[in-house]
């Protein structure tokens, strides 16, 4: 009996393939995993959050990136494409073309039915390996619901991640890592449930 094996790639091979690819793929410890396409709601929510946070931080010492910017986790040998990344101060890029970053303080993911469990558990665990990472925002597509995980930096809870849920269109999402807030009514405008 012959078993099929999965080809393993180096980071350099992945980056070379990704540069020519028509579809984005994540890099997971030598494996290349194609990403699924996004829904209209996913695009609306990503664009709205990105636009609002970009404008709010435009004149401050932050860089905001959308889902075409790769996030590199060197300790875990992984590249992902979060929906929105915020970096405090200067971004630390992985290459001269500036296609990957390593030091986000805020990561935002729009949840889909096919990836929500991964985003909420395994991917969050991966992201927690990043020393600069302070806040994780998960935005649901099918209801007025946002989850915010905030890393505690001091006191007896230092290092713990605290969950805060924002439910209903009257809720207002306020970030702790940066000075930013958005009402769910505004965020979800034009989203069809």
pTM over 0.75: yes
Residue 34's pLDDT is 86
Does the pLDDT value for residue 4 go beyond 60?
A: no
Is position 8 within any domain? no
**Total domain count, the chain:** 1
**Rounded Cα distance, 118 and 122, in Å:** 5
Are β-strands 181-183 and 84-88 bridged in parallel, bridged antiparallel, or unpaired? unpaired
**Rounded Cα distance, 13 and 27, in Å:** 10
Which is more confidently placed, 155 or 68?
68
**Rounded Cα distance, 136 and 66, in Å:** 15
3-state secondary structure of 186: helix
Is position 135 within any domain? yes
Residue range of the domain that includes 182: 38-187
Name the token pair of 11. 């980071």
Is position 82 within any domain? yes
No. of helices (H) and no. of strands (E), the chain: 5, 13
The 10s digit of each residue's pLDDT in 7-17 is: 899 999 999 99
Mean pLDDT of the region 170-175: 98
Is position 33 within any domain? no
Does the pLDDT value for residue 163 go beyond 90?
A: yes
Residue 150's pLDDT is 98
Is position 31 within any domain? no
Mean pLDDT of the region 25-51: 91
Is position 149 within any domain? yes
């Amino acid at each position: 009996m012959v078993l099929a094996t999965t080809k393993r790639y180096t980071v350099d091979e992945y980056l070379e393939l990704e540069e020519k690819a028509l579809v984005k793929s994540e890099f997971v410890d030598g494996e290349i995993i194609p990403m699924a396409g996004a829904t209209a709601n996913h695009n609306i929510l990503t664009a709205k959050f990105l636009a609002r946070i970009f404008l709010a931080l435009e004149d401050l010492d932050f860089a905001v990136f959308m889902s075409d910017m790769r996030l590199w986790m060197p300790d875990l040998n992984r590249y992902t494409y979060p929906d929105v990344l915020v970096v405090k101060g200067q971004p630390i890029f992985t290459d001269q073309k500036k296609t990957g970053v390593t030091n986000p303080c805020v990561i935002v993911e729009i949840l889909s039915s096919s990836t929500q469990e991964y985003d909420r558990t395994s991917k969050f665990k991966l992201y927690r390996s990043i020393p600069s990472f302070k806040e994780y925002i998960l935005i649901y597509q099918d209801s007025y619901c946002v989850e915010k995980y905030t890393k505690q930096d001091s006191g007896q809870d230092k290092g713990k991640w605290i969950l805060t849920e924002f439910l209903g269109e009257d809720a207002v999402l306020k970030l702790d890592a940066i000075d930013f807030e958005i009402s769910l009514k505004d965020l979800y405008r034009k989203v069809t449930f």
